[in-house]
Every structure is written in structure tokens, then in C-alpha cells.
Structure 1
Amino acid sequence: MTNTPNAIMLFAAGFGTRMGALTRDRPKPLIEVEGVALVDHALALAKDIAPASIVVNTHYHADQMARHLEPQGVTLSQEHPDILDTGGGLRAALPLLGDGPVFTMNTDAIWSGPNPLRLLSAAWDPAQMDALLMCVPTASALDHAGPGDFTMDPKGRLNRGPGLVYGGAQIIKTEGLAEIPELAFSLNRLWDAMERNGRLFGLSYPGTWCDVGHPGGIRTAEALLGGDHV
């Protein structure tokens, strides 16, 4: 089994309820920011690192997602009849992703700065890490409410607490998924075990990040990409 990640999972199955009427008839990943679908912003970052495979999970309006993504050479992992959350969704997609650690990325954020996947790849140390999360200081996390998800010690280890927002991109080892009995579950279950073992690590993103999980985030993200935010 290789310890170098060479596959990426993009999470795109959710209902997007915070988007209100915008997701009544379409999935959130197809909402556009500066004329480009959110999922395509994420795909551009994924393709930049040239992984062996790119997998996208789908559930809500899966037919629309398939029409949009299949021409782009992306492999789909359809969750049916029930949505599986991040942990269950990643586990269901493992036959498509292969062995070893994988990148994962959410599709409801815009990154302004270096490709976070490249930064993660350069810092990945499988000897001491079971997961490496790209985190954003709250001052650089636009349109995100709350004090943050993690604190980071001088060696890069993460613990739960305020200060850093998880930006939705990571490298993670997947072996622990087999130990969780539930069909649908969050990756927080895996992170909690890694944190207890001192093997949950983070990077602080040097650019700016915008949460596009709600309608106001669209305007903020477009202003960010247009250079209106420092």
C-alpha cells in the first residue's frame, strides 16, 4: 500500500439547504460563482495536481450532476437510496479511489491563493500523520460564522477549539473507516480518534478562503475573485 495520495474525493452529495430557493431545483455544486459552477472551481484545483483518479459523490439531483460531470472524465459515486455523510460517502467510494491515503475536498468554498492541495501534498508526512487538514485563520475565512474548529500546536497537531476553520481540503488515511459500524457518519468520527492518538495535523492556509454555503457567500466569493478583498 502506498503512503502517497494519488486520488481525490470531491464531496458534492448534500442538499444545500442553507442556499434556500437556489437549491430547490438544482444541487448546490452547480451554483455558479463568476459564471463557473462551484464543483468546477474545485475540479480545477483537483486537476492541477494531476491525480490518478477524481471521484465525486452525488445524491441530491444526481442526474444533473451526472450530466455535468461525466463529460469531464470524472468518476461518480452515487449514494442511493440514502445520503451517507462525509465518512460514509468516503467509505463507499473507496473501491473507486484505491488503496492508501486520499485527498478530499468540499465543493462549497472558494480559495484565493496557492492551491491548497499542492500545499497539503508538500507537507504530508505519513510516518506521523493520519490526516492533514487545511485550516484557515478566522480572519481569512470570509462569510464563515463561528470561532473556528481547531487549535494547532507548534508541531502542527490539531485539537478541538477556536481559532482555525477547517477549509474542507485534507489528506486522510482511510483504514479507520472500516471500524465504524454505522452506514452514514461524519468524518469527525475518524478525526476524533486521530486526535486522541496525536496523529491529527493541520496546515494554516496563507491565502483567503470564502464559505459559499449560503447565498451571501456567492457575492463575497465573486468580490474575492475580482480582487475586492485583500
Structure 2
Amino acid sequence: MDALILAAGLGSRMEDLTNDIPKPLLKINNKTLISYALDIATKLPLSNIYVNTHYQADKLSQYLIKEYPHIIISHENLILGTGGGIKKVQKQDLLVMNTDNLWQLSFISEIEKAIAHFSQNQHIENLLLVNSDSSNNDLEISGENIIFPSQKNNTKFQGCHLLRNKSLNEYPNIFDIPLYWKDCAMKQRLFGFQTSTKNPHLGTKELYLQY
């Protein structure tokens, strides 16, 4: 299994905070957002770890080369979207992590359990890690199945999912992952994996400044 850390976005929801710096290099407690994700990914049994870049890619690449020299940088001249970015790097089953979350190190064991569950259940095409004891829910789960689009939000996506190899082969090179989620849910191959750890979402300036 490989991993992809999503870091190519424009960071527009951070407003002026990302005028001169890419969002993944913003800091919480003097630690960059992307390092929270990478410090988890590097402790997992993964073959390769990719980071996709686009906005202010030079700054992000310089940081990665210095701090995480083993990381593979997947630069996007054009933003490929969350789906296209995944498709570009996927050569085997893939762990995908956002940089919008304040990742907790205790989440490592939860990802390990999710990987084991994913490996043992080949009918699962995409496994989303969720927490149903959260506020601001953004997904719907029924049993273990994710219903997408949601009719009633009753769980929260934890910014991390597992994707079966070749599952995006028939999709365009530029697209966003919700298009795939919709198709996958219709086939009843989109599942949720409950976690106890909560990874706060920091995707907007307002949320980020709370920390």
C-alpha cells in the first residue's frame, strides 16, 4: 500500500493566511499542518508516500526535500482535483490523507485497524474513516455503508480513506473524488470505518485560528 497526502489546493478558504505560503505550511504549535499528516504516514507500513503540489509548489517542495527527503513529490501543473490527484499516483491500494486535519498520533493504530479491515474485505472499494460521535457531521452512514450523496448527516469524515487499486481507471484525469463516491455508493462498495479518535478539521481561516 502507498499513501498520498493531498497538498495541491489553493488554500482559498484560509483567505489572506495563504497569500504568501501554501496552506500545508501553516503552523499549529510551531509545527506545519503537513507534518502532522506525514508524521503519521511515515510510521505506517507503506511502500511509498506521495505528496501532490501545485500552489506555491516551490516553497512546499523545498520544505519536503529538507524535512522528508524520502517523500515522492507529485507536481500538478494544472490542479487535477482530489480524484485526479489520486489517479495520477495510484499504482496499488492507496491511503489518502488530507492536510486540513489536526492529526492525532493516537490515530495511527486506528489507521492500522482500518488497513487490516480493508485487506480482509475485498468487496470494499473505498473505505472512509469516520467518527459518529462528532458535531458538524458531513456524511451519512447506514450500518457500514456510506450513503452518498447524504440525505441526513449522521457521521463525520476524518479526512482519511483507503482506495482499492485501479478503482479510478475509468475516470478522467481531472475530477473531484465525490463523483467517484457517488458511483461507488450506488454499487454499495463505499463503506465507513468507525474511529474513536477525532482529528479536528482546520480547513477554513476561522477554524484554523481557533488553534
Spell out the pairing of 1:75-90 with structure 2 (5 A cutoff).
75-80=72-77, 82-90=78-86
Map of 1:183 onto structure 2: 173
CA contact (8 A) 2:127 2:163 kept: yes
Q: The residue matched to 1:190 in structure 2 has which SS? A: helix
> In structure 2, what is the Cα distance between the partners aligned to 1:152 and 1:172?
20
CA contact (8 A) 1:128 1:199 kept: yes
Map of 1:225 onto structure 2: none
CA drift of 1:119 comes to: 3.0
Map of 1:110 onto structure 2: 102
> In structure 2, what is the Cα distance between the partners aligned to 1:12 and 1:114?
20
Which of 157, 163, 175 is the matching residue for 2:154?
Answer: 163
> In structure 2, what is the Cα distance between the partners aligned to 1:29 and 1:132?
24
Map of 1:22 onto structure 2: 17
| TM-score, length basis structure 2 | 0.89
Map of 1:227 onto structure 2: none
Map of 1:121 onto structure 2: 115
Map of 1:93 onto structure 2: 89
Which of 71, 74, 77 is the matching residue for 1:74?
Answer: 71
CA contact (8 A) 1:46 1:117 kept: no
> In structure 2, what is the Cα distance between the partners aligned to 1:38 and 1:130?
28
CA contact (8 A) 1:38 1:107 kept: yes
Q: The residue matched to 1:20 in structure 2 has which SS? A: helix
Q: The residue matched to 1:148 in structure 2 has which SS? A: coil
- Gap runs ≥5 in structure 2: none
CA contact (8 A) 1:150 1:166 kept: no
- Gap runs ≥5 in structure 1: 1-5, 223-230
> In structure 2, what is the Cα distance between the partners aligned to 1:201 and 1:29?
28
Number of equivalenced pairs: 203
CA drift of 1:114 comes to: 2.8
Q: The residue matched to 1:50 in structure 2 has which SS? A: coil
Provide Cα deviations, 1:87-118, integer angstroms capped at 9, x if missing partner: 11111123xxx3x3111111110134432422
Q: The residue matched to 1:110 in structure 2 has which SS? A: coil
Which stretches of structure 1, 4 residues or longer, exceed 4 Å deviation after superposition? none
CA drift of 1:68 comes to: 0.6
| TM-score, length basis structure 1 | 0.82
CA drift of 1:219 comes to: 4.3
Provide Cα deviations, 1:167-200, integer angstroms capped at 9, x if missing partner: 21111014232212x3310112222222111111
Provide Cα deviations, 1:125-152, integer angstroms capped at 9, x if missing partner: 3422111110122x535xxx5x422223
> In structure 2, what is the Cα distance between the partners aligned to 1:208 and 1:79?
30
CA contact (8 A) 1:58 1:78 kept: yes
Which of 186, 192, 203 is the matching residue for 2:193?
Answer: 203
